[in-house]
Amino acid sequence: MVRGIILGGIAFLAVFAAEHQFGSMTKDIDRYNKMREMSGDPSLFKQAINAGLDLVSSFSSSRRGEALDFLQSMQSDVMRYARISSM
């Protein structure tokens, strides 16, 4: 119980510190987004979303063969299990 209280306190402190840090950065982020808007670039949030989507798509395209092999092996394992259980 004491461990839970300590971990809860640490989690609360981490969330409180993150919120405080984000609150102090909002003016700077707004100013930076205005400068990006003047130069024709998307906002920082949109750029982060686009970068994340690019990362996911490049990862998925590079691992497509491995994923297909995994799904095929799972299918064969299920079929083998079904044959064994029906005996």
Report DSSP state, residue 30.
Answer: H
Q: Please tell me whether residues 27 and 53 are part of one structural domain.
A: no
pLDDT reported for residue 45: 86
Q: Please tell me whether residues 60 and 77 are part of one structural domain.
A: yes
Distances (CA, A) of 64 to 12, 53, 54, 71: 40, 16, 15, 11
Tell me the pLDDT tens digit for each residue of 6-32.
Answer: 999 999 999 999 999 988 888 888 888
- In this prediction the pTM is 0.45
Q: CA dihedral in degrees (73, 71, 54, 48; nearest 10)?
A: -110
pLDDT reported for residue 14: 95
Count up the domains in the chain and report the number.
2
Report DSSP state, residue 40.
Answer: T
pLDDT reported for residue 33: 87
Are 36 and 43 spatial neighbours (Cβ–Cβ below 8 Å)? Answer: yes
Q: Please tell me whether residues 35 and 47 are part of one structural domain.
A: no
Domain span at 9: 1-41
Q: Please tell me whether residues 67 and 83 are part of one structural domain.
A: yes
R_g over Cα of the chain: 24
- The Cα–Cα gap between 57 and 75 comes to 25
Tell me the pLDDT tens digit for each residue of 33-85.
Answer: 898 888 888 888 888 898 888 888 877 777 777 777 777 888 888 888 888 87
